[in-house]
Structure 1
Amino acid sequence: MSKMLQRWQMRMFVDIALLQSAKRSLLLRKQNQRKASVSI
C-alpha cells in the first residue's frame, strides 16, 4: 500500500514538473515572438 502511494506521489510530482516546464517554454516562446515582431 505504502509503495503504491509513493509511486503515485512520484507520478504527481513528475506531472507537476512537466506542467511547469511546459508553461515556462510557452512563456519563453511568447516573449521570443514579441521580440521578433519588434525587430521586424
Structure 2
Amino acid sequence: MLISITFKPRTNSNVLEYFMTSLVLEHIHFRTHLLHIYM
C-alpha cells in the first residue's frame, strides 16, 4: 500500500491504530466485494 510507505508513526499506539484502521478498511472492502459477487 502507498499509505504504509508515506505513513510513518512515531509511537506504538499510532502503529496499532494504523494497523487496526487498515484491517477494518480491508474487511469493509472485502465484504462489499462479496456483496457485489452475490448481487
For this structure pair, what is the TM-score category when the shorter chain's length is used for normalisation? Answer: 0.7 to 0.9
Structure 1 gaps of 5+ residues are 32-40
| Seq. identity, % | 10
Structure 1 outlier segments of 4+, above 6 Å: none
The alignment's C-alpha RMSD in Å is 1.2
Structure 2 gaps of 5+ residues are 1-9
Q: Which has the larger radius of gyration?
A: 1
When normalised by structure 1's length, the TM-score is: 0.72
Relative contact order, CA 8 A, sep 6+: which one is greater? 2
State the number of aligned residues: 30
When normalised by structure 2's length, the TM-score is: 0.73
